Structure 1
């Protein structure tokens, strides 16, 4: 007589793990949405055609030198790659079961970050936010490079916990592509509700997002780092 083993009953997921999965799912959904939107817009027509339709920021780059136009396309493509791949780095099951794939995705992500940051610095002179954009988006690009480098250096040194902390910070900056658009819509909506003209509402909102799109992200990232017990920054005692 043969016997069959009783079916394995999976223990209920820890509430914290469940919340983390839901949060990562929301992040991945928003990231993929922005990625597909950006690629569909800038891959569907030339900058001149997009500028004529007043699509995105094409108007500022349609009249720019070919160098800046090329850098813009490099920035869009590499930033979208980083934005879409980033959430995969935080899937614990993938890290455990497919470590080689995890490393491959990580290398691709960090390569896209490096190219996205450098091309982002290259287009600063023609950004649509003026001097505020130079400082805000410039700081974002530099920190994007720094966090990616620190994540790479940590994992090459075998420090997994520090690597994870820096990857969280890195993707928080990558996610600025999403939060920029969320803040832009929120700020414009508030102004339009108060009777502002659409062009003025956009100009005012876009003047704020060069810093607003990433500073709160870093605050949230550091909170996540501390909650997970990873190496974090601590203010000096006074």
Structure 2
């Protein structure tokens, strides 16, 4: 019985990009870092400025959905927020070429803290997924995100322990693509909120937000993984392919 998905090596790693490619890479990396910092400041920090009940009264983030949850689930929410915030910022720094080449020891220590953030954030995400305000879609969408987040982090760690740097880089790209779902979720929401207006349909905020939030549990990370796999192949790192059907 053939495997549905099998790892394959793609073309050799290409030469370093030219000046235009490096400039585009710096712009892209800067955008990722700044948006990660903005999301942490806007979405994570408020949870540590007031209680969940107070935040729920102001309808801040997920506070209304978890203000009446058990202490265990509320604790998992805070663990998820802290782990996700650490991973979101430190993960962006791991793709800074200058840091990797000039301070490899710092790069390794940041990587350890990053994987720790993913570990606690992923476990917290699994615990709070059943209480998602998106219902079953949130349970399966955010639950799958948490599982893949943990699995890709483990694969990245295992690869670097084997000193398989190309595979480590590939798995880290996939993992941070899932980490970055914290940003893309907040980019998709306003776009989905405006969709009824663009389609000429009646618009009411509560209904539009409910419809938008029902889509983001999968939309916030699936396109990220597709983009990550494209980037992995473009860099000639170990990728995946669906084998042709055999007779």
Whether TM-score is above 0.5 comes out as: yes
In 2, distance between residues paired with 1:192 and 1:116? 36
- Once the 2 structures are TM-superposed, how far is the Cα of residue 192 of structure 1 from its aligned partner? 5.0
Residue of structure 2 in register with 1:207 after alignment: 214
- Greater relative contact order (CA < 8 Å, ≥ 6 in sequence): 2
Q: 1:154 aligns with which of 151, 154, 159?
A: 159
Q: 1:122 aligns with which of 122, 127, 134?
A: 127
- Once the 2 structures are TM-superposed, how far is the Cα of residue 190 of structure 1 from its aligned partner? 2.0
Residue of structure 1 in register with 2:113 after alignment: 108
What is the count of residue pairs matched by the alignment?
227
Residue of structure 1 in register with 2:78 after alignment: 73
Residue of structure 1 in register with 2:225 after alignment: 218
Query: Tell me, what secondary structure is at the counterpart of 1:81?
Result: helix
Query: Which is worse superposed, 221-230 or 123-132?
Result: 123-132
Query: Which is worse superposed, 123-132 or 36-45?
Result: 36-45
Cα contact 1:154–1:163 (8 A) shared by 2: yes
Matched, 1:21 2:58: no
Query: Which is worse superposed, 98-107 or 185-194?
Result: 185-194
TM-score, normalised on structure 1? 0.92
Cα contact 2:197–2:203 (8 A) shared by 1: yes
Structure 1: tracts of 5 or more residues without a match: 1-11
Residue of structure 1 in register with 2:146 after alignment: 141
In 2, distance between residues paired with 1:167 and 1:195? 43
How large is the Cα RMSD of the aligned pairs? 1.3
Matched, 1:164 2:172: no
Residue of structure 1 in register with 2:186 after alignment: 181
TM-score, normalised on structure 2? 0.89
Query: Which is worse superposed, 183-192 or 167-176?
Result: 183-192
Q: Choose 1 or 2 for highest CA Rg.
A: 1
In 1, distance between residues paired with 2:146 and 2:187? 19
- Once the 2 structures are TM-superposed, how far is the Cα of residue 43 of structure 1 from its aligned partner? 1.4
In 2, distance between residues paired with 1:90 and 1:40? 24
Query: Tell me, what secondary structure is at the counterpart of 2:133?
Result: coil
Matched, 1:99 2:104: yes
Residue of structure 2 in register with 1:9 after alignment: none
Q: 1:233 aligns with which of 222, 225, 240?
A: 240
